[in-house]
Homo-oligomer: A and B are copies of this chain.
Amino acid sequence: MNVSNHTANQISVAINHKLSERGGRTFNLDVDLDLPAKGITAVFGESGSGKTTLLRCIAGLETSSHGEIRVRGVVWQRETDFIPCHQRRVGYVFQESSLFPHLNVKKNIAFGISRSPSQLDTEHYHEIIELMGLASLLQQYPDQLSGGERQRAAIARALIIEPDLLLMDEPLASLDMKRKQEILPYLESVHEKLDVPIIYVTHSIDEVARLADYLVVLEEGKVIANGGLKEVLSNIEHPLHLGEETGVVVEAEVRERDSEWNLIRATFEGGELWIRDGGDEIGHNIRIRILARDVSLALSEHTDTSIINRLRVEVEKIQYVVGQSMLLVSLKAGNSTIIARLSRRSAHHLNINEGMEVWAQIKGVAILR
- Residues of A at the B interface (CB closer than 8 Å) are 21-23, 25, 45-48, 52, 95-96, 104, 136, 139-141, 144-149, 170, 173-179, 181, 203-205, 241-245, 258, 260-263, 274, 276-277, 293-294, 296-300, 302, 304-308, 322-326, 340-350, 352, 361, 363-366, 368
Having A96-B96, A262-B323, A293-B294, one finds 6 other A-B pairs with CB under 8 Å, namely A47-B174, A52-B147, A294-B294, A294-B366, A299-B304, A308-B349
What residues of B have a CB within 8 angstroms of the CB of A293 in the complex? 294, 363, 365-366
What residues of B have a CB within 8 angstroms of the CB of A144 in the complex? 21-23, 25
Q: Determine the distance from Cα of A47 to Cα of B245 in the docked complex, in whole angstroms.
A: 25
Partner of A361, one of B149, B244, B261, B305: B305
CB distance from A19 to the nearest CB of B (A): 9
Q: Determine the distance from Cα of A173 to Cα of B244 in the docked complex, in whole angstroms.
A: 18
CB distance from A145 to the nearest CB of B (A): 8
Partner of A305, one of B21, B147, B258, B302: B302
What residues of B have a CB within 8 angstroms of the CB of A96 in the complex? 96, 147
Complex contact A46–B261 (CB within 8 A): no
Complex contact B178–A325 (CB within 8 A): no
Partner of A47, one of B148, B258, B263: B148
What residues of B have a CB within 8 angstroms of the CB of A363 in the complex? 293-294, 296
Complex contact B243–A177 (CB within 8 A): yes
Complex contact A177–B148 (CB within 8 A): no
